[in-house]
Amino acid sequence: MTKRITVQDSYAARQRISGKVRCTALVRSDTLSDQSGADVHLKLEHNQITGSFKLRGATNAVLSLTKEQRTKGVVGASTGNHGRGLAYAAKQAGVRCIICMSELVPQNKVDGIKAQGAEVRIIGRSQDDAQEEVDRLVAEGMVMLPPFDHPDIIAGQSTLGLEMLEQMPDMDTAVIQLSGGGLISGVAMVLKAANPDIRVIGVTMERGAAMYECLNAGKPIFVEEVPTLADSLGGGIGLDNQYTFNMVRDLVDDIVLVSEVEIAAAIRHAYWEERQIIEGSGSVGIAAVLAGKIKTPGRCVVLTSGQNIDMKLHHRIISGEDVDVTAEG
């Protein structure tokens, strides 16, 4: 039986992680509001410690371990930001941490995780390959903390929903990144509990939209991971998905897909108009608004979920270069 994750779990998570993660700002975007004819605000979560919201779930999960589990240490497979958050959270708690990841992960993310004090192991061409090494370490007694499909991770990410409600109680629409779905499951659970009329829109990239394909298939299926500017949204949802597939199916109103060109335009917009450095995955919400793909946004919160982009790549994009990562992979 899988546990049902509730708003109580969200408040418990917030109490646990209080003082260990930042409450990030919500700011109005005049340019996005003007362009969309709506009232668009950005929730600047890319300014979170470690550069993404993943620190919320990781901190909640590490602080929820039993004393015995803490002594064994934690292990995770990650496209980068989860590993970074987990490494930081474990270090803060004095817990050993090993992160396993695939060769597709950019070097800046590998370095970022090492800098947080975790051990890094690089295995295979996909997140699923890295998962096999995780399973081996779990057999040796370490505790696996996955990037999205875990109640403590989802509850940790859901604290973003609590903050969004406090910062804009009368929100009509929330635009949230979607990959494995831990983020949007938690946020949607909290927002819908407060007001079922709040529309929760998931945004992901056209290239390798795993959850989208799975929902169309009616069950978790294999979706190939391919290079994209939104590299933190890569990877499958797991064929044995326990939580996020059902939660996204039941709680998310719509899913919008954005192209590589639209993501690049959003990274540029974020930099030149909003003065924010946001990674591709963190920019897909802005991309959807700019492309006119969010219907009747009204009072709208657009999440910016991460900042961990290679700065040379970022420089090329904001300088107007026509970057095509899909040809480089």
For ligand PLP, which residue of 24, 102, 131, 177 counts as binding (CB under 6 A)?
177
Is residue 276 within 8 Å of 244, Cβ to Cβ? no
For ligand PLP, which residue of 76, 106, 112, 181 counts as binding (CB under 6 A)?
181
Closest approach, Cβ 214 to ligand PLP, in A, equals: 12
Residue nearest to ligand PLP (CB): 306
Number of residues that bind ligand PLP (CB under 6 A): 20
List the structure tokens of 66.
Answer: 């039993």
Nearest to 73 by CA among 97, 57, 55, 93: 97
| Whole-angstrom distance, CA of residue 97 vs CA of residue 137 | 11
User: Which one of the spans 106-114, 167-175, 254-262, 276-284 is the region binding ligand PLP (CB under 6 A)?
Assistant: 276-284
Closest approach, Cβ 172 to ligand PLP, in A, equals: 22
Please count the CA atoms within 13 angstroms of the CA of 199 that sit on its side-chain side: 17
User: Which residues in the 77-116 window bind ligand PLP by CB under 6 A?
Assistant: 81
The per-residue DSSP string of 76-135 comes to EE-SSHHHHHHHHHHHHHT--EEEEE-TTS-HHHHHHHHHTT-EEEE-SSSHHHHHHHHH
| Whole-angstrom distance, CA of residue 46 vs CA of residue 211 | 22
**Binding of ligand PLP by 179 (CB under 6 A):** yes
User: Which one of the spans 127-135, 173-181, 213-221, 310-318 is the region binding ligand PLP (CB under 6 A)?
Assistant: 173-181
For ligand PLP, which residue of 59, 60, 232, 276 counts as binding (CB under 6 A)?
232
Q: Which is nearer to ligand PLP, 39 or 152 (CB)?
A: 152
Is residue 85 within 8 Å of 58, Cβ to Cβ? yes
**Binding of ligand PLP by 180 (CB under 6 A):** yes
Is residue 307 within 8 Å of 51, Cβ to Cβ? yes
**Binding of ligand PLP by 182 (CB under 6 A):** yes
Q: Which is nearer to ligand PLP, 148 or 212 (CB)?
A: 148
Nearest to 108 by CA among 79, 87, 146: 79
Q: Which is nearer to ligand PLP, 39 or 190 (CB)?
A: 190
| Whole-angstrom distance, CA of residue 69 vs CA of residue 190 | 29
**Binding of ligand PLP by 52 (CB under 6 A):** yes
For ligand PLP, which residue of 62, 65, 171, 183 counts as binding (CB under 6 A)?
183
| Whole-angstrom distance, CA of residue 92 vs CA of residue 107 | 24
| Whole-angstrom distance, CA of residue 57 vs CA of residue 303 | 16
User: Which one of the spans 88-96, 108-116, 277-285, 294-302 is the region binding ligand PLP (CB under 6 A)?
Assistant: 277-285
CA angle 171, 175, 44 (to 5 degrees): 85
Q: Which is nearer to ligand PLP, 126 or 305 (CB)?
A: 305
Closest approach, Cβ 80 to ligand PLP, in A, equals: 7
Q: Which is nearer to ligand PLP, 36 or 177 (CB)?
A: 177
**Binding of ligand PLP by 58 (CB under 6 A):** no
3-state SS assignment for residue 301: strand
Q: Which is nearer to ligand PLP, 90 or 237 (CB)?
A: 237
List the structure tokens of 102.
Answer: 């695939």
Q: Which is nearer to ligand PLP, 39 or 313 (CB)?
A: 313
Q: Which is nearer to ligand PLP, 39 or 62 (CB)?
A: 62
| Whole-angstrom distance, CA of residue 329 vs CA of residue 324 | 10
**Binding of ligand PLP by 143 (CB under 6 A):** no
- Binding residues for ligand PLP, rule: CB under 6 A, are 52, 54, 81, 147-148, 177-184, 232-233, 279, 281-282, 305-306
